[in-house]
Structure 1
Amino acid sequence: MSLCSSQTRLYAGEVLAAYDACRQISPLTSIEPTFSTEDAQKVAHEVTRLRVARGERVIGRKIGFTNRTIWDEYGVYAPIWGPVYETTYRAVAGPAEASLSHLVEPRIEPEIVFGFKAGVTPDMDERAILASIDWIAHGFEIVQSLFPGWQFQGADCTAAFGLHGALHCGPAVPVTGPAEPWLERLATATIALSKDGVVVDCGVLSNVLDGPLSAVRHLAGVLAADAQARPIAAGEIITTGTVTRAFPVAPGETWSTVVEGLALAPMSLRFV
């Protein structure tokens, strides 16, 4: 049996209150044993409604758990998504600093970010999706877990913003010219992630559901099956999931990346 409207509002309020107070709560799946993906979507939409009502503006979406190489690590075996807000997004150029004080158990994820000039529908292939993209960038998504020890199920992640905490997006590069080089590079390019100058992991873009464009295609299908979700639209920003493993971060650390195979600037982010 799915959640009734009063239960949906209750859990949405609990999730948002935990986020606002920077504290953790028990996984909703441990409180409500039958808590399903459908229930989680209802809670997530109610949380979005509450955040928009208090003045936050949705500017895009994040896709999570697109990297199949980390599924066993978290026990989550399907992608999730959540909103990106104007309040959680920051465009950066060159070395930058960021605070972690508003996040719980934060982790860093190097990702490919797209800005869209046209909408995306589920029937579109990767080539058609590429034609809808205005720009591409490299970004750091900072994810967090409202659930202690990063112990949860996929439905918990969906209910809790898709684990989204912040998105630091590097300089945008226009998508121009023939499609073929972009299609190839968006599957074969790599990102090396370093902590305080030491490489800790390196991933290839095909880790992300065979490539970031495929991740967007997956999201378009998921959104079409959700009556409360709106389709990907022009002007939207979408970050497509971590290319490497996600790593815990702490104040005083500097994390950086080098991208090979795409003309995207390296990123450096120091946490304070």
Structure 2
Amino acid sequence: MRAAVTATASAAARLTAARAQRLPCAPVRDLLGANDINAAYAVQSVLNEARIAAGARVVGAKIGLTAAAVQRQFGVYRPDFGVLFDDMIYAHAQPVPLDSLLQPRAEGELAFVLGRDIDHPGASVADVLRATDFVLPAIEIVDSRIEGWDLAITDTVADNASSGAVVLGTTPHSLRDRDLVSIKMRLSRNGAQVSSGAGSACLGSPVAAVAWLARELVRRGQFLRAGDVVMSGALGPMVPVTGSCSFRLQLEGMAEVEAVIA
């Protein structure tokens, strides 16, 4: 038990220093093991509690590693989740400071905004559809404190699922009669297309991804709350952020959203 506590504290300290010093660190799997996901979530919890104590407010959650293309990029073949804080959220075209990020990459996603809690085990896609108030097109700027994105599942989980920033569109869309399995995604950087995909890339459907998250949170003694913003996961490959640039996301049948990295 003492060894586990020491490993958790050491991993948290390493990631905290990387964030504070803005210098990527070595992977933490040497401390936690490559597959002990519970140990990694314990580190994530320590880091999240420190951010809350410093004044950050939890506004939702993000699901990572949902698209097969992203899983292949890192050799990690299971989804994970992290926490969204208020200081991570930006609006369409609102500049995201490049110097707040270390090794950023961009993904095209769909954000679910919940109108009611999902707090029971065995949550289904029907529960997610009933609980969702509206969805927004969104660009996630994922980031890693781990040098060179050298990740095992424990590295990314401990690092809050490699979270950075989220840029939300400002036009809400109802899920009624909307096919999220077949919806097409196109992500452009400085006007040139760099990624494409579809809703089916996200655990079969973004709705299925949010249902997975709801079940996983309840299993861990947590739950999704009314008002939460839930990033459902990438609809295609993530792409590097190359200095100051802009990304534009087009989701079929929805308003566009632009992320400006300044």
Matched, 1:221 2:221: no
- How far apart are residue 22 of structure 1 and its match? 1.4
- Residues 13 and 202 (structure 1 numbering): CA distance in 2 closer, same or farther, change over 3 Å? same
Give ranges in structure 2 of 5+ residues lacking alignment. none
SS in 2 for 1:60: strand
Structure 1 unaligned regions, length at least 5: none
* Residue among 237, 241, 245 paired with 2:237: 245
| In 1, Cα distance between equivalents of 2:215 and 2:129 | 16
Could you tell me whether the CA contact under 8 Å between 2:34 and 2:154 is conserved in 1?
Answer: no
Residue 180 of structure 2: SS of its match in structure 1? helix
Please say if residues 107 and 238 of structure 2, whose CA atoms lie closer than 8 Å, have aligned partners that are also in contact: yes
Identity across aligned pairs (percent)?
25
How much is the aligned-residue C-alpha RMSD, in angstroms?
Answer: 1.9
Aligned pair in 2 of structure 1 residues 66, 34: CA closer, same or farther (>3 Å)? closer
* Residue identity in the other structure for 1:246: M
Q: 2:190 aligns with which of 169, 192, 196?
A: 196
Aligned to 1:255: 247
Task: Please name the residue that 2:131 is paired with.
Answer: 132
CA distance in 2 between partners of 1:208 and 1:163 (Å)? 17
Contact 2:137/2:249 (8 A) holds in 1 = no
Distance 2:52 2:228 in 1: 16
Superposition deviation, residue 115 in structure 1: 0.7
105-114 vs 63-72, which deviates more? 63-72
* Counterpart code for 1:81: F
Moved more, 77-86 or 15-24: 15-24
Q: 1:54 is matched with which residue? A: 54
TM-score by length of 2: 0.93
Structure 2 CA distance for aligned equivalents of residues 30 and 4 of structure 1: 12
SS at match of 1:113: strand
Matched positions, count: 261
Query: Equivalent residue for 1:160?
Result: 159
Q: Which residue of 1 aligns with 2:205?
A: 211
Distance 1:154 1:2 in 2: 23
1:84 aligns to what SS in structure 2?
strand
Name the counterpart of 2:145: 146
* Deviation, structure 1 residue 49: 0.8
Q: TM-score with structure 1 length normalisation?
A: 0.90
Alpha-carbon distance in structure 1 between the residues aligned to 2:150 and 2:20: 20
Which residue pairs with 2:111 in the alignment? 113
Q: Which amino acid aligns with 1:129?
A: V
1:225 Cα deviation from its structure 2 partner: 2.2
Measured after TM superposition, the shift of residue 174 of structure 1 is: 4.7
The residue aligned with 2:71 is 71
